[in-house]
Amino acid sequence: MPYAKIVGTGSYLPPRVVSNDELAAELATRNVQTSDEWIVTRTGIRQRHLADPGVKTSTMAVLSAREAMQNAGIGTDEIDLIVVATSTPDFIFPSTACLVQAELGVMQGAAFDVQAVCSGFIYALTAAEALIRVGRAKTALVIGAEVFSGILDWSDRSTCVLFGDGAGTVVLKASDEPGIIGAQLNADGRQKDILYAAGNVSCGKVVGDPFLRMDGQAVFKLAVNALAQSAKDVCAEAGVALKDIDWLVPHQANVRILNFLSKKLHIPLEKVIVTLDKHANTSAASVPLALDVAWRDGRIKAGDLVMMQGVGGGFTWGSVLARM
């Protein structure tokens, strides 16, 4: 049975960068009061990238995928699986993954979407790894991509300052060497009301509230405890001690969550990849974006042991432990 190994990464962020000061000025025109100090103190976010009107999730996914393919040195003829994690698909159907497949010119293999909100990339990576391990695929593009700005209520200060848009991709390939050595996925649907976007389309009309809503305190408490336990469980499954982890790449939601998680796991903050100050919470894109940054700047190196974690609406969470 082959292993599945990450052999390349790529990312894309929209060119429009909006600082906290710029966002505060824009929100003031809507009678929403905030400031750079208020946002940074509570979240650690200093700016976000926002897609221009009309930019689709698939467009950003394709751009990040091309970069990852170039980084991995592979062509379209080698790809036989595309999994896109997104909560903001272009259409109800076909899937965003099929749109990506067509745009890339991939003529073979399977393509499908995964919807687990901010845990989506972890879910997608685990699904792709399983298909490679059983021989159903050899080379996969695993993509997290979101245009979250399109589902934000810009009159709700508690949510609209938190999110941004972007896409990240990893190339996952069958290998004789261990790559992904542990994974765990979890969900608790009883917590569905603490983070949701409940609108839907019926008979040509939007039914219900289409905007993201969140109980921040409830999410914070559940996220820290769930991620800490998940990390411990995955390490136990893989026979690895927490102290042996070289890098923790968690979902980029809130710097307070990252600080508490670091303390709970006794992993020094110097080993935690933090990028949310640059691109805010990009949901399913946040983990691959952070991974790509750290891989390209040389912090994460071949052979390093990396823990990736996601947590999001559903409520969902999970961890993947990989040898790079």
Q: Which residues are catalytic?
A: 118, 251, 281
Beta pairing class for 47-49 and 81-85:
unpaired
Backbone angles phi, psi at 56, to 5 degrees: -100, 155
Structure tokens at 65: 């995928």
Contact status, residue 219 vs residue 110, Cβ threshold 8 Å = no
Helix, strand or coil for residue 197? coil
Query: In whole angstroms, how far apart are CA 128 and each of 62, 117, 169, 254, 258?
Result: 18, 17, 13, 28, 27
Please state, in angstroms and rounded to a whole number, the distance separating the CA atoms of residues 189 and 119.
14
Which string of DSSP letters, residue by residue, matches 238-270?
A: HT--GGG-SEEEE--S-HHHHHHHHHHHT--GG
